[in-house]
Structure 1
Amino acid sequence: MHIRLVLLAALAVGAHAVRAQQTAKPEDTEVHEPVPKVVTPGRTIADPPADAVVLFGGKNLDQWVSTENRSAPAKWTVGSGGVFTVNKAEGNIETKRSFGNYQLHLEWRVPANISGTGQVRGNSGIFLASLGKGDLGYELQILDAYQNQTYVNGMAGSIYKQAAPLANPARKPGEWQTYDVVWTAPTFTAAGAVATPAYATVFFNGVLVQNHVALAGPTQYIGKAYYQQTHGPAPIKLQAHGDKSEPLSFRNIWVRELP
C-alpha cells in the first residue's frame, strides 16, 4: 500500500509539471541580472585581458620579492626579449600581492642545452599559494617532460606528489611552454577545519591536464599531503630548485582575480 501511494504521488507531481510546462512562456526562464562585466580580451591568448594584474610584462620584477625575505626585491635575471631567468643562488621568489581565487597565465622554457635526467632536468615549480619560506605551499610542477621519464605525479603538469597529469603535451627543450590555471583557494571553518579543499584546473600548452582536481593539502615531499594550517589569500611563488641543471626562463605572466 505504501509503494502504491508513493507511485500515485509521483504521478501527480509529474502531471502537475507537465501542465506547468504547457502554460509556461520562454521569458519565464530568462535571467537578466546581474549583467556580467565587460572584459576586453588580449590581442592574443598570451596577452593579458583588461582586468588582469600583470606580474611580468617583460621589463622588471617589480611585482616580485624574495620568499626568504619579503622586504628584499626579487633578484632573478631579467634579460632581453621580455624574459627573466631563475637565479638559483637567490632562492625562490613570490608575488608582492596575495591572491585568493584566480586565473593565471604563465609561460616557461627549459633551455635547449638542458642536461640531466628525471627530476634533475629543468626542475622548477609554481606554488599556487605560497605558505612561507622554502617550498611551503601547493605546487604545480615544472620540469622537462619531453622524452624524460620520471614518476608521473612529479612530471610537468602534475600537482606535485598528488595528481598526475591527464596527458603529456610537452614541447622540446628550447621551446616555450604555457600554463593556464584556474585556482580555487581552500576555505576553513572558524574552528580551523577544512570547509572546502583547494581545487586546480590546468591547461598545459592548451591541453587539459588537471580537471578541477581537489587537493589533499599543501605539497609534501615526503608523506601524504594534508591541511596543516588555515590561511587566506596568499602569494604566488616560483621555485629556484636546487639541482645543477641549467636554469629555466619565464615570460608573459598575468593573473585575474576571481570571486
Structure 2
Amino acid sequence: MKKLIYLLWVLVITLSCNKKADTIIVEDKVENDSKKEEIVETPKKEITDPKETEVWEPEPKVISFNDNNIPSDATVLFDGSNLEAWMSAKDSTAAAWTLNTDKTMTVKPGTGDIQTKKNYGSIQLHLEWSAPDVIQGEGQGRGNSGVFFQNKYEVQILDSYQNRTYANGQATAVYKQHIPLVNATKAPDQWQTYDIIFHAPEFNTEGKKTKSGTFTVIHNGVLVQDHVEILGSTEYIGPPKNEAHNKGPIKLQDHSNLVQYRNIWVREL
C-alpha cells in the first residue's frame, strides 16, 4: 500500500512539472512574437508634393565664359601671348618652344619638355593641338608628343590619322595602359581638341597607394577614355610604378616632332 501511494505521488509531481514547462514554453513564444512585432517597419508616407524632394542649398556657383569660350573659374596656361606659365622641365629655365604669330606654339626639337610652373592635383584640362604641317614619318615617329599629369601619367598625342601603331600608344591612349574606345583623330591639317578629367591617385602616410587615379578623355567631342583606372606611372619600358607623390606639374613632351599647341586652360577639381 505504501508503495502504491509513493508511485501516485511521483506521478502527480511529474505531471505538475510538465505543465509548468509547457507554460514556460508558451510564455517564451508569446514574448518572442512580441519582439517580432516590435521590429516591423512602419510603412513610409507616400510623397505627393514635388517640393518635398527639392534641394535648394547649396546653390552651384555661377560661371561665365570669355570670347574664347574659356570658363571664368579656369586658369589660362596658354593663350598665344606668352609662355610665362611654362618652364623647361629639365632645368627650370624659361620655356624655349617657338611662339608663333598666330597665337600658337610649336615644339622646338632638342630643347626638351616644358612643364607648368604650378603643381596640380585633380584637374580638368583643355588643350588643342595639331600635327606638323608637313607629314613625315610613320607610327610613333609621326606627330608624336604627349601630355603628362604630375610628371608621371601620360595621355598620348600622336598623328593617328591613317597611321597604324600599337593601339595602347595611339592618340588619346593612356600610354601603354588603356586603348581608346575609338580613333577620333582628324586629318593633320585640322586642329585636335582634348578635354581630360584627371583624378589623382591617393597615398597614405606610409607611402602606400590607397586609391587609384582615373582618366576620362574626350577627343574632338567624342568620349574615348571612360573613367579608366590609372595603373601607375606610364612607363615606356616595363610595368607601371606606384611611388608615393604629391601634386605635380602638367608637362608637354618634346618628341622631336613639330607638334603645335593652342588654347590651353585648366580647372582644379
Q: Which amino acid aligns with 1:39?
A: I
What is the alpha-carbon distance in structure 2 between the residues aligned to residue 43 and residue 61 of structure 1? 21
| Structure 2 SS opposite 1:20 | coil
What is the alpha-carbon distance in structure 2 between the residues aligned to residue 101 and residue 31 of structure 1? 27
Find 1:86's aligned residue among 107, 114, 121.
107
What is the alpha-carbon distance in structure 1 between the residues aligned to residue 63 and residue 47 of structure 2? 38
The answer to whether the aligner puts 1:64 opposite 2:86 as a matched pair is yes
Identical counterparts, % of pairs = 46
| Structure 1 SS opposite 2:165 | coil
The answer to whether the aligner puts 1:104 opposite 2:94 as a matched pair is no
Find 1:120's aligned residue among 123, 135, 141.
141
Higher radius of gyration, 1 or 2? 2
**Which whole-Å deviations, capped at 9, do the CAs of 1:106-142 have from their partners, x for residues lacking one?**
0000023121110010110000221xxxxxx100000
The TM-score with structure 1 as length reference comes to: 0.85
Report deviation, 1:222: 1.1
What is the alpha-carbon distance in structure 2 between the residues aligned to residue 172 and residue 95 of structure 1? 29
The answer to whether the aligner puts 1:138 opposite 2:149 as a matched pair is no
For 1:166-245, what aligned pairs fall within 5 Å after superposition?
A: 166-227=181-242, 229-242=243-256
Report deviation, 1:165: 0.3
The answer to whether the aligner puts 1:34 opposite 2:37 as a matched pair is no
Report deviation, 1:192: 1.0
The TM-score with structure 2 as length reference comes to: 0.82
What is the alpha-carbon distance in structure 2 between the residues aligned to residue 251 and residue 224 of structure 1? 33
- Give structure 1 regions of 4+ aligned residues with deviation exceeding 4 angstroms: none
What is the alpha-carbon distance in structure 1 between the residues aligned to residue 113 and residue 67 of structure 2? 31
**Which whole-Å deviations, capped at 9, do the CAs of 1:210-229 have from their partners, x for residues lacking one?**
011110001111112131x2
What is the root-mean-square deviation in Å for CA atoms of aligned residues?
A: 2.0
Q: 1:74 corresponds to which residue?
A: 95
Report deviation, 1:27: 3.2
Q: 1:3 corresponds to which residue?
A: none
The answer to whether the aligner puts 1:250 opposite 2:261 as a matched pair is yes
- For structure 2, the residue ranges without an aligned partner over 5 or more in a row are 1-35
Report deviation, 1:80: 1.0
